[in-house]
Amino acid sequence: MRILCGFLLVSLVLFSCKRPNRNPRNNNVKSPAQREYRGEDRDINQNANPSNTSIKSTAEPAKSLPIGNKSVSELFKELNPAVFRVVGVLGEDQYSTGSGFFIGKGIGVTNFHVLEDSQEAFILIGEEFYDITNILSKSFPQNLDYVIFETEYANAISLPIATKNPQVGEDVFAIGSPKGLSNSLTKGTISGFRENRRIQIDATIDHGSSGGPLFNMKGEVIGITTSGMGTGSELNFAVDIQALPYEKYIHY
């Protein structure tokens, strides 16, 4: 269900808002830690009703954006529509916000810690909210810290995924929503590679940007921005996108 809520949009930017007027059917939406998972991740809430946790789309797969020798400004214009804000409702007047992006038709990715402990969750595109309807795969924050999920938004495009490993010294850029400022761009360089498939970068990753895409200069996703060492810090991290089982969901 799409919900127009300009008041909530402004309030989220200020980080103090009332719970949106959601449809009563959403009051029982479970957090990522409670929902039923598929395949190897099907280890939680085994007795869940499949009719409530499994929603499949018969639509055509989303088209990946073209790649070529373009400026960062040109790439941003092309990639930006596939990036969105993520909101988890933790309780009355309590929200967790982050960023996310599409890898397939209605299939999104963000950090697990963005949605952890949420009672319900949705994505924000422009001024419209779309429910996160099903969790497909996950990894807890102490590991790879990601969630792959289904949404009710039938997006037309998805982001291209890099097939070559990034290198130290390579220029990168990220799109996210620091402090609620939707789809902001930051640039930087790969500084190193750390344990748990972390890519160390000096591009600024602030609160609200977690879960957004990290790109190489071809406009291909190489990682999911995950954490930083404080506001404005040049010591930040992203999870290597190749560590995720994304391939089976691209044409889901």
pLDDT at position 68: 64
Residue 206's Cβ-count burial label (10 Å; 0-12, 13-18, 19+) is buried
Kindly state the DSSP code that residue 82 receives in the 8-state scheme: G
Q: How many CB atoms within 10 Å of residue 48?
A: 16
pLDDT at position 109: 98
pLDDT tens column, 144-162: 999 999 999 988 789 999 9
Helix locations, the chain, DSSP H = 6-14, 50-53, 72-79, 112-115, 247-250
Mean pLDDT by 10 residues, the chain (252 residues): 44 41 40 39 29 36 64 96 96 92 96 94 94 96 94 90 96 94 95 96 91 97 84 83 93 71
pLDDT at position 111: 97
- CB of 156 closer than 8 Å to CB of 64: no
Could you give the residue numbers annotated as active site? 113, 145, 210
Looking only at the bridges linking them, the beta strands covering 120-125 and 107-110 are unpaired
- CB of 217 closer than 8 Å to CB of 164: no
The residue type at 101: F
Report d(CA 162, CA 222) in Å as an integer: 6
In order of start, what are the domains of the chain with their CATH numbers? 82-151 (2.40.10.10), 170-242 (2.40.10.10)
- CB of 102 closer than 8 Å to CB of 213: no
pLDDT at position 206: 87
pTM: 0.75
CA separation (Å) from 53 to 22, 180, 251?
A: 19, 29, 19
Q: How many CB atoms within 10 Å of residue 204?
A: 20
Give the torsion sign (CA, 95, 198, 218, 154).
Answer: negative
pLDDT tens column, 208-218: 899 999 999 99
Stated length of the chain: 252
pLDDT at position 96: 93
Q: Where do we find the tokens 């997006």?
A: 155
